[in-house]
């Protein structure tokens, strides 16, 4: 009988990606009867087993593929199926990341499983023990509860930074289980020809605890220099709404929103952003939103904890000067 939780982990630059710890933390807190397992795929995932154990994993399934430096859908799908065949979990959790958003629907279709995407909360229905997932709908303007069906494998992708990882405990131990994969890259329908690493200076947008984001109201690319300066003083990252990215003012990977990156920082400073539903869907899980906009009726003020009605050309220099003062020059 299916039991426990299987996490499809992610590896970045030879370490567990933060989302893996968050998934393990969410799986542990669910209290599902059975083991908490994690699947790790990569050229040499074995050294990461201890790190996964410290974050709560009881079983670590290792899919080694020396020829694979990064994500390859068909290989990950084969690895996930092999792990599922051995673990026989009741629930499978993935990150709502580039990997999870691609892999989860493939896996759910292959297995005939139910899938709740971009989840913000998870719980178990007391009577049935079925997974209850809370996810945003209508561009983030409302939330819906999705309940799995009895007898069906339940899957969910979790929004990064919406769930906390457990405090690492080096004394925890996990059983490491190698998986035998029969994957021939030459026979794959999808061929990976080249990988281009995204050049990011400083903190990655999706990992940043502080984000300074700009919108159409900045009027052009020059104003983003002030956002870069402020983000640097705060130890944060720079983001943008869709119009600046579409206009070529900043690179596309700056975009926060439904079709961009989903972020959940401690502080989200929105400068000259009106607050469309598409953009708010990407930043609504921030712990605190501070908005600067000269239009007092801008939609962003409806979700902001603090708002400054004024021209950013006057507000930003004063804010930067104050931050410099507080940091001692």
Residues 225 and 173 occupy one common structural domain = no
Beta-strand relationship, 131-137 and 142-147: antiparallel
Nearest alpha carbon to residue 226 among 93, 259, 218: 218
Is residue 158 exposed (0-12), middle (13-18) or buried (19+ Cβ within 10 Å)?
buried
With b for 16 or more beta-carbon neighbours within 10 A and e for fewer, the 95-125 pattern comes to bbbebbeebbeebbeebebbbbbbbbebebe
pLDDT of residue 71: 86
Q: Are residues 43 and 154 in the same domain?
A: yes
Q: Domain range for residue 278? A: 205-326
Quick one: 112 and 209 in the same domain?
Answer: no
Q: Do residues 57 and 86 share a domain?
A: yes
CB proximity list for 167: less than 8 A, separation 6 or greater: none
pLDDT digits (tens, 9 = 90+) for 73-129: 888 999 999 999 999 999 999 999 989 999 999 999 999 999 999 999 999 999 898
Q: How confident is the prediction along the chain (329 residues), in pLDDT tens digits per residue?
A: 889 999 999 998 889 999 999 999 999 999 999 999 999 998 889 999 999 999 999 999 999 876 666 788 888 999 999 999 999 999 999 999 989 999 999 999 999 999 999 999 999 999 898 999 999 887 777 889 999 888 899 999 999 888 999 999 999 999 999 998 877 777 777 777 777 776 666 678 888 999 999 999 999 999 999 999 999 999 999 999 999 999 999 999 999 998 888 888 999 999 999 999 889 988 988 999 999 999 999 999 999 999 999 999 999 999 999 999 998 76
Given this model, what pLDDT does residue 69 score? 63
Distance from the Cα of residue 175 to its chain's centroid: 27
Q: Could you say which of 158, 187, 216 is where a domain stops?
A: 187
**Structural domain contains residue 299:** yes
- Residue 307 near residue 290, CB atoms below 8 Å: yes
> Is 322 exposed, middle or buried, given 0-12, 13-18 or 19+ CB atoms closer than 10 A?
exposed
Nearby residues of 312 by Cβ (< 8 Å), 6 or more positions away: 217, 218, 223, 271, 272, 292, 293, 294
Residue 116 maps to a domain: yes
**229/169 same-domain check:** no
Whether residues 179 and 224 share a domain: the answer is: no
User: Same domain, yes or no, for 48 and 152?
Assistant: yes
Q: Please report the pLDDT score of residue 17 as a whole number.
A: 93
Residues 124 and 9 in one domain: yes
Of the residues 130, 158, 187, the one at which a domain ends: 187
- The DSSP line for 157-187 is EE-TTSSPPPPP-TT---EEEE------GGG
Is the separation of the CB atoms in 159 and 143 below 8 Å?
A: no
What CATH number is given to the structural domain containing 233? 3.40.50.1220
Instruction: Decide if 34 is inside a domain.
Output: yes
Answer yes or no: do 160 and 258 share one domain: no
The answer to the question of residue 198 being in a domain is no
Question: Domain count of the chain?
Answer: 2
The helix/strand count (H/E) of the chain reads as: 8, 17
- Sign of the alpha-carbon torsion through 169, 122, 10, 91: positive
For residue 58, what pLDDT is reported?
97
Whether 13 and 162 share a structural domain = yes
């Amino acid at each position: 009988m299916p039991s426990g939780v299987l996490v499809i982990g992610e590896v970045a630059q030879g370490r567990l990606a933060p989302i893996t710890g968050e998934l393990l933390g969410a799986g542990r807190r669910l209290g599902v009867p059975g083991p908490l397992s994690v699947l790790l795929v990569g050229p040499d995932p074995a050294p990461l087993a201890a790190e996964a154990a410290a974050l709560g994993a009881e079983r670590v399934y290792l899919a080694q593929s020396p020829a694979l430096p990064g994500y390859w859908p068909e290989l990950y799908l084969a690895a996930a199926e092999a792990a599922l065949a051995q673990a026989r979990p009741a629930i499978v959790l993935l990150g709502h990341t580039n990997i999870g958003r691609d892999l989860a629907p493939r896996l759910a279709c292959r297995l005939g499983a139910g899938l709740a995407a971009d989840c913000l909360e998870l719980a178990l229905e007391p009577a049935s023990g079925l997974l209850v997932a809370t996810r945003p709908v209508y561009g983030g303007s409302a939330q819906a509860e999705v309940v799995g069906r009895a007898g069906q494998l339940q899957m969910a992708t979790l929004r990064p930074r919406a769930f906390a990882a457990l405090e690492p405990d080096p004394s925890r131990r996990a059983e490491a289980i190698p998986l035998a994969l029969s994957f021939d890259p030459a026979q794959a329908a999808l061929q990976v020809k080249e990988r281009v690493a995204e050049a990011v200076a400083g903190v990655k947008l999706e990992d940043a605890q502080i984000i300074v984001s700009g919108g159409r109201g900045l009027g052009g690319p020059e104003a983003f220099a002030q956002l870069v300066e402020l983000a640097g003083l705060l130890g944060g990252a720079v983001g943008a709404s869709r119009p600046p990215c579409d206009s070529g003012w900043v690179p596309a990977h700056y975009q926060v929103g439904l079709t961009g990156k989903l972020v959940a920082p401690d502080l989200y400073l929105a400068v000259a952003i009106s607050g469309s539903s598409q953009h708010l869907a990407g930043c609504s899980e921030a712990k605190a939103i501070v908005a600067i906009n000269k239009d007092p009726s801008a939609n962003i003020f409806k979700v902001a904890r603090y708002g400054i009605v004024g021209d950013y050309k006057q507000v930003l220099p004063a804010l930067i000067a104050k931050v410099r003062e507080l940091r001692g020059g």
